[in-house]
Amino acid sequence: MEKKTRILNLKSHAKINLFLDVIGKRKDNFHQIRTIFSEIDLSDKLSFFLTEKTDIKILASTDFLETKENLIYKVAFFIKNKYKVKKGVEIYLEKNIPISAGLGGGSSNAATTIMALSELWELDLSDDEKNEISKKFGSDINFFLVGGTALGEGRGEEITPLKDIFMENIFLVNPGFPVSSREAYELAEISNYENNNWKLFLETFDVTYCYNSLQQGIMQKFPEIKEIIDYLENHGATKAMLSGSGATVIGFFPDFVTAQKSADYYSKKNYWNYITKTKRRTR
């Protein structure tokens, strides 16, 4: 058996969007957005084993995307070739964050891979280098290099760290079908004015100012999303809204007991659900 000379065990956290406004369409066909990201304590676990072989091997706890099509592999392959790394890596993924759910699981895995391989392969990548790599593979990855709470602008890749926001009794529920980011943005209606409630939210931390301009289009195509939002708001949530591009819905509850009642209800319907809290920045 090949000797593994070094191991890194890391958590790869999910995110929610506390605010997301689609401001306009860019010349590169991406959308101009403004968003407030917040890391939460829901996480995947990634283990990285340095090997003397030259290949990249990925194993996952659940049926996952074909190895060469997932972001972990793409990022690792890119870094290995760009920096002419001679050694290889085995990566084990314990998947807890739902896929294509608006929680940033794939982007978080990619950012964790960049940080891990910088250390494991002794590349000592600068923040600028890590950010340049991130931009090549997705708009949310740059946020996960920073973590905590942050403002995202441009395509979402222009990150400004904000003071951490502590919120608990955040209920997440997913109806079990994926929504692609591309589809969500194609359904979005771009307003003629910018929603400035993000400033009010940062001043007050009042969740009633939270907003997602992707929500209306997604609800029209997937009525089940609206049913979940209505249910949560009728059963104690101060506010309920779509997370990112969905299909996960966030319910902000005043206490754990009330949140648990919705968890019990959706568990009986066999919907994935989780009660979480925001996570402070650690890097």
- The residues annotated with a catalytic role in the active site are 15, 140
Give me the sign of the Cα torsion angle 41, 44, 49, 53: negative
Rounded distance between C-alpha atoms, residue 138 and residue 245, angstroms: 14
Residue 281 Cα to chain centre, angstroms:
15
